[in-house]
Amino acid sequence: MTKLPQNSILKRLSETGYSDARIADMYGATPQAVNARLVAMGLRRYRQKVTGILERAWPTSETGRGDFVNLNRYRDLCCFLRWRLGDPDMTANQVRGAKRFERTVRERNSVLDFQPEADEPWLFVPRIESDGRMVIRWPQGRELPEGELRAALDLPEEPQE
């Protein structure tokens, strides 16, 4: 297996928009190795925060959430959360995904819920009072994050441009 490039090259490839899988293919590595190096370099700080939020809501070991992370609604949710956290490294496509997610939540007056047993596990469901301003239906009995992580879950008062 070929070694990954120097950190400066890896950073440039990632910032240019190359996926972990594409970088891995270029160097004969695994996407997990690419991601691990980018995390170690501190370049995945926002993705780690988003994963932490979603793991708190729907632990992969209990819900199987990891089997459904390739679906568009999940990706858009992740983009929205990164956007709300102020991730400066988002691509134009990721920002569009974040805005699309926000627009859908507003237009439908809904929240995203995760129902792994359903045919479509990421469902937009009608907003209820207990949802507050959150963009997801927070599972009962799960502790909410605090601070900026909690704030990232809220729909902004005004649509973001």
Give the pLDDT band (50/70/90) at residue 85. Answer: very high
Predicted confidence at residue 35, as pLDDT, reads: 80
Residue from 49, 55, 90, 85 nearest 69 by CA: 55
Report how far residue 50's alpha carbon sits from residue 46's, in angstroms, rounded to the nearest whole number. Answer: 6
Residue from 62, 72, 50 nearest 121 by CA: 72
Q: Is the whole model's pTM more than 0.85, yes or no?
A: no
Residue from 43, 102, 50 nearest 81 by CA: 50
Query: Tens digit of pLDDT for each residue in 14-61?
Result: 777 677 778 889 999 988 888 888 878 877 778 888 989 999 999 999
* Confidence check: pLDDT of 128 > 60: yes
What are the two backbone dihedrals, phi and then psi, of residue 68, each rounded to the nearest 5 degrees? Answer: -125, 20
Half-sphere exposure of 45 (CA within 13 A, CB side): 8
Predicted confidence at residue 34, as pLDDT, reads: 87
